[in-house]
Structure 1
Amino acid sequence: MVPTPRRPRSGVAFERKIYGRPIRPPTRDVALARSRPGGTGTLPRADGAGGGRTTGPAGPVARATRSRVSGVEHPRPVAQQDDAATPPARRNRATLARNVPHPLARVRRLPDSTADAPTPDTVPTYTATEYETTATGRRVHPEFRETVLGRYGDRCPVSGVDYVGLLDVAHVLPWSEFADLRADFENVLALDRTHHAAFDRGLFTFDSEYRLRLNPAFETNSDVLRRTLADRDGEEIRFGDGTGPSPEYLRRRNERLDWSPT
């Protein structure tokens, strides 16, 4: 087995020994580049093609190229050699890539939190907290509520709601102003919670003949309120025998309204 020869320090001697063909001696420009302080150079390739890169203290200095006419090699800046060796199409793409910003460059400049940069489609965020307060509650004997609802058949005479959990005891004359009438059966009637709120806000009332009277300023798009209130304006409401509120209390209530229920 023939031992592999050691590679000598000289590239010329190595290529002569391995490839067995002469190497063109360095050109004058390459030799000058090698002779500069701190500079190094490379030899032309063995196939005769031009251009070993030469470097100096500040980095790449020149590349030796051969003239097709005279055969003389001339140094050329590395940047020019790279551009000349690049096909035009690829060179144009490279130039475009350097001039056009990266599509993610704008994303990198966005704030860390999207809440700092709201957009028209951003949904606002809200907070919910708790606080302590003192409130005054109403307390009526449980049998009073059961008796009132029983007198109206556990049913709202206006809407027909018959679920006890949705029925309230409504007062004709306000609870807060007529304390002596709070537990008077003639001052109360059974209403569901929606119509109870509407009754307390003066959206409708009853006259002394138990006819439903609607506030002229009341407007609604609700099918339920239109069917139970708007379409029944002036209609007599049947509370049952002896179960309706006092006509006198209704009269006093209607006098306090800011509209005339006639």
Structure 2
Amino acid sequence: MTGISRPQPTGHVALITGAARGIGAAVAERLARDGHRVILLDRLDDVRATAEGLAAQGLDAAAEVLDLGDLAGLGPRITQLSQREGIDIVVNNAGISPKHNGKRAPIAETALDEWQRVLDINLTAPFIICQATLPVMRARGWGRYIMMSSQAARTGSRVAGSHYAASKAGMVAFARSLAIEVGGQGITANCIAPGRIDTPMAQEAGAAANAAYVAAIPAGRIGTPADVADAVSFYAGNGSGFVTGTVMDVNGGHYMG
């Protein structure tokens, strides 16, 4: 570890779901570099290697392997983790967007079990995680909830399925309800709505679809996980204490709401 510069610890602990790769991994690294202890959570065992990579850089990181689809066991596991670690920043980033031969299923052809699984992981799991972590934040009088919504929630989508768009729109409404309830306790709740970001999920849309999307973006490029991580960094910091119930669009100007 000699020669590695460690950030000044903030005393805050951030839980990031879906953190094995992509946006979640970028968020975890950015928050760790901001000085927060980060707990990376994912159903993939790869999350351990991601956390170990951060720790090797002198950052305070640990990993937990957990499937958010196991709703019955999720609350107790997160409650235990929250109490042990003192989690006061939560980034509900994990999400799924099923495709069939690279395309969304039309509404008329969307199976009920697929619809339910998307809502379970994208919306119900974040609700459970927020419930389980609220006691620690309330006891501290400080907390940050950051929900990963989507441009699909703002405009609809020809790429993402209806269940994905509905779940991400639900995240916005849920975050605003949470913001109203806990705003007077030093806790904020905000959403980030990324546009097309260069992740494995976006790559499933295919090169042609991504090229057409880029052509319509005023910024002239697809977004990066680091672009989203920068937005999360703001919401997770002390400087965002008077910002709650908001949606930050990170899309290069493709949607201006």
So what's the TM-score if we normalise by structure 2?
0.19
As a proportion of its length, which structure holds more helix? 2
Greater C-alpha Rg: 1
Q: Greater RCO between the two (CA within 8 Å, min separation 6)?
A: 2
TM-score scaled to structure 1, two decimals?
0.18
